[in-house]
Amino acid sequence: MAAEPRRKIIAGNWKMNKTVSEALALVRELRGMVSVLRDKVEIVLAPPFVALHPVAKAIEDSNLKLAGQNCHWEALGAFTGEVAAPMLKEVGCAYVILGHSERRQYFGETDETVNKRAQAVLKAGLLPILCVGETLAEREAGRTLEVVERQVKGGLAGFGGAEVARFVLAYEPVWAIGTGRTATTAQAQEVHAAIRSQLVRLYDGGTAEQVRIQYGGSVKPDNAAELLGQKDVDGALVGGASLKAGDFAAIVKAGA
């Protein structure tokens, strides 16, 4: 019996953008544009923490899901400025983005801390969107697959196949984030296929077939269809284009 095709997942990472009022205005506009795609593609929004609760209320009874942009590995405690996975669960999140390149670059995130956060996310009943990707210097040195495979192995350390099958992985070449540069479809497919092959080696073919691997790196309406048409590209983690309802809706429709 053939495995069911993986359902595309398009996630909008708003980063540190949009006040609560701006977030609600964006969601209201977007909701009407993508409501017809209810069963065709999974749509996830990751607004800033302060907007999560109002956005959760605004997307009730819709086909939009909510994600946190990060979380701490402890469930509670004296960690000023941090947010715990159970808090995100209660506010209405389904996913949490982990290991984004900006967290790694600016805030000292490592494969080990990403792994600890992933454990907390699953324990809280949420699903991780685990990001991996190489810098321009690493790509130019021919180390892309080495770096990505190290990050995948480190991020997934200690998890069994049944757990990993529920993960979303996001390949985001750091040199293509916010730069306007995009990996070619061939470059994206090469890395996505390598990640899936690694999952076969780490777990098994069934697990590897279930894991959805997003591409993230200057995804726009004009390149989304070609990227999402690749065999191993199962969605997109969208940055700047997710801040405009029309652009994000166009990317979602390209994945439907």
Q: Is 100 a catalytic residue?
A: yes
Q: What pLDDT, on a 0 to 100 scale, did the predictor assign at position 126? A: 98
Q: How far apart, in whole angstroms, are the C-alpha atoms of residue 242 and residue 252?
A: 10
The one catalytic residue among 72, 100, 109, 149: 100
* Among candidate residues 253, 251, 229, 254, the one with its CA nearest the CA of residue 240: 251
Instruction: Answer yes or no: is pLDDT of 5 > 90.
Output: no
Predicted TM-score (pTM) of this structure: 0.96
pLDDT tens readout for residues 131-184: 999 998 999 999 999 999 999 999 999 999 999 999 999 999 988 877 777 788
Q: Is the pLDDT of residue 2 over 70?
A: no
The one catalytic residue in 42, 134, 172, 192 is: 172
DSSP state of 140: H
* pLDDT at site 90: 98
pLDDT for 1: 40
Encode pLDDT of 179-232 as tens digits: 777 788 999 999 999 999 999 999 999 999 999 999 998 899 999 999 999 999
Confidence of residue 106 (pLDDT cuts 50, 70, 90): very high
8 A C-beta contact, residue 172 and residue 144: no
| Confidence tier at 3 by pLDDT (50, 70, 90) | low
Cα dihedral across residues 111, 120, 54, 238: positive or negative = positive
- Is 172 one of the annotated active-site residues of the chain? yes
Mean pLDDT within 22-43: 93
Token code pair at residue 154 = 């480190």
CA distance 4 to 13: 27
The whole-angstrom separation of Cα 160 and Cα 149 is 17
